[in-house]
A and B are shown apart, each in its own frame.
Chain A
Amino acid sequence: DAGITQSPRYKITETGRQVTLMCHQTWSHSYMFWYRQDLGHGLRLIYYSAAADITDKGEVPDGYVVSRSKTENFPLTLESATRSQTSVYFCASGMDEVETQYFGPGTRLLVL
């Protein structure tokens, strides 16, 4: 049972480049989320999705784009990476609004 996976686990890119972080879950959870983790801020929600083709902004959505064409996948795209987007990104999923969220292993992104 793979659960929830993220790829790549580590990524180095340059300012201005487009980067896509992948998230895949095998539980058929309806809800999926993207968080970023920065020192002193804990985790902050970027975007979330309640179902395929339904997405909504979280606390810090600027500079990010998401899509969800299939229930199991929820990619996060940085259209033009900036240094302030250097962070650790976590994908999570949950069955519904009651169920607990379960997290992927994270992607460490460095923008030079």
Chain B
Amino acid sequence: AQTVTQSQPEMSVQEAETVTLSCTYDTSESDYYLFWYKQPPSRQMILVIRQEAYKQQNATENRFSVNFQKAAKSFSLKISDSQLGDAAMYFCAYRSKGAQKLVFGQGTRLTINP
């Protein structure tokens, strides 16, 4: 069974600086999808970024980018120019190709210091 591990329960960063959230996963599959979801205090789950495992190029969405290391089974999220609105829980998630089940990590709580 696939597992997702987020080893940083909490992180903090100064506003306007860059922060990287870590995620590792365990799978025997070669084709799959990886996601980062943001959960602000409102508890809404918001998709931040998505990566297909067969794509070597790292996904980017504005200030959010990932470092996808397939061999190391690592999928970190980099947030550049951190803003107060980035404060939230961030969840890393895995999905097998052809399956719908999302497997989530335990989450990392990100605090932005003004």
- Contact residues of A with B, CB < 8 Å? 31, 33, 35, 40-45, 48, 50, 58-59, 88, 90, 92, 94, 97, 100-103, 105-106, 108
Contacts and interface: CB of A to CB of B under 8 A. Distances in A.
B98 interface: yes
Contacts, number: 51
B41 to A, nearest CB: 12
B16 interface: no
Contact-size category for B: 20 to 34
Interface in B33-50: 35, 37, 42-47, 50
B104 interface: yes
A105 B91 contact: no
Interface of B: 4, 35, 37, 42-47, 50, 91, 93, 97-102, 104-107
A103 B101 contact: no
26 contacts: A31-B100, A40-B106, A41-B106, A42-B91, A42-B105, A42-B106, A43-B91, A43-B102, A43-B104, A45-B102, A48-B101, A88-B43, A94-B100, A97-B98, A97-B99, A97-B100, A100-B47, A100-B50, A101-B102, A102-B47, A103-B37, A103-B44, A105-B43, A105-B44, A106-B43, A108-B43
A42 B104 contact: yes
Contacts of A43: 45, 91, 93, 102, 104
